[in-house]
C-alpha cells in the first residue's frame, strides 16, 4: 500500500510550528504544495489541505492577506471535490471565521458562520452539535458590536437547538446560560443575570469539577452581581 507522500511534510510542519519556527514551517509548506500539485493536481483535497496549512502558518505569522487567500483556495478546492456540505469544509471555514474575527471583519465572520451552520445542519454528531457553538459565536459578535438584543436572540437560539436535540442538563446548555448571565450582567440587568448564572451553575456542577474554568466563570459572575446588589451570599 502506497503511503501519502505529504504526511512526512505535515509532520515536519507541525514540529516546526510547535517550536515557533514559522519561517521554516512556511518553507516546508511551500515545498509540500509543489509536491501536491505534482502528485495530486490542483483540484484534489490533498492539495486543499496544503493550502489550509499555508493559511494557518501565514495566520500565525500575522500575514492576514496571505492567510485569507490560502484558506479561500482550500475552501474552493474542497467544494469542487466534495460538495458544499462536506464535513471536510469545517476546519477551513472555522479558520476563516477565526481570522476574520481577529481582523475585526465581523461581516465576513458572520457570513462564514452561517455557512458553517448550513453545513453542520446536514450532518450527524459530533458535527451537528457545533451549530450551538456557531450560534454563540454569532451572539458574541453582536455583543461586541453593542447589539444586545441580537446577541440574546442568538444565545436563545443556541439553547433552543440544544434543548430540542440533547438532554435538558447538557453542559453546553449550562455554558450558554452562563453567556446569557454575562450579557445581562454587562447590561446591569442583575435579576436576569442571576437567573441565568444560577441555571448555568446547577447544570455545570453536575458534569464538571469545581475548579473547571466554566464553573469558575459562572461562580465569579454570581459573586460580582451579589456584590453589586450589596448582598453577602455564599455561592458554589
Please list, residue by residue across 195-208, b when 16 or more beta carbons sit within 10 angstroms of its beta carbon and e when fewer do. Answer: ebbebbbebbbeeb
Mean of all residue pLDDT scores within the chain: 95
What tens digit of pLDDT does each residue of 72-107 get? 999 999 999 999 999 999 999 999 999 999 999 999
Residues of the chain with pLDDT > 90: what percent?
93
Cα–Cα dist 236/233, whole Å: 10
What distance, in Å, lies between the first and last C-alpha atoms of the chain? 57
Confidence of residue 230 (pLDDT cuts 50, 70, 90): confident
Question: With 90 as the cut, is the pLDDT of residue 233 above it?
Answer: no
Amino acid at each position: 500500500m502506497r503511503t501519502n507522500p505529504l504526511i512526512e511534510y505535515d509532520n515536519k510542519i507541525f514540529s516546526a510550528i510547535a517550536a515557533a519556527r514559522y519561517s521554516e514551517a512556511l518553507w516546508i509548506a511551500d515545498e509540500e504544495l509543489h509536491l501536491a500539485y505534482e502528485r495530486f493536481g490542483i483540484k484534489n483535497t490533498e492539495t486543499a489541505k496544503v493550502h489550509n496549512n499555508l493559511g494557518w502558518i501565514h495566520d500565525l505569522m500575522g500575514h492576514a492577506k496571505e492567510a485569507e487567500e490560502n484558506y479561500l483556495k482550500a475552501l474552493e478546492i474542497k467544494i469542487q471535490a466534495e460538495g458544499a456540505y462536506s464535513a471536510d469544509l469545517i476546519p477551513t471555514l472555522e479558520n476563516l471565521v477565526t481570522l476574520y474575527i481577529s481582523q475585526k471583519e465581523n461581516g465576513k465572520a458572520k457570513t462564514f458562520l452561517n455557512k458553517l451552520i448550513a453545513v453542520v445542519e446536514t450532518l450527524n454528531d459530533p458535527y451537528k452539535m457545533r451549530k450551538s457553538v456557531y450560534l454563540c459565536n454569532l451572539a458574541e459578535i453582536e455583543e461586541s458590536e453593542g447589539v444586545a438584543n441580537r446577541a440574546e436572540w442568538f444565545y436563545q437560539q443556541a439553547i433552543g437547538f440544544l434543548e430540542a436535540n440533547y438532554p435538558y442538563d447538557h453542559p453546553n446548555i449550562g455554558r450558554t446560560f452562563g453567556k446569557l448571565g454575562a450579557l445581562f450582567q454587562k447590561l446591569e440587568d442583575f435579576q436576569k443575570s442571576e437567573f441565568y448564572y444560577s441555571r448555568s451553575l446547577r447544570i455545570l456542577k453536575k458534569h464538571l469539577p469545581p475548579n473547571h474554568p466554566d464553573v469558575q466563570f459562572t461562580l465569579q459572575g454570581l459573586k460580582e452581581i451579589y456584590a453589586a446588589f450589596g448582598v453577602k451570599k455564599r455561592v458554589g
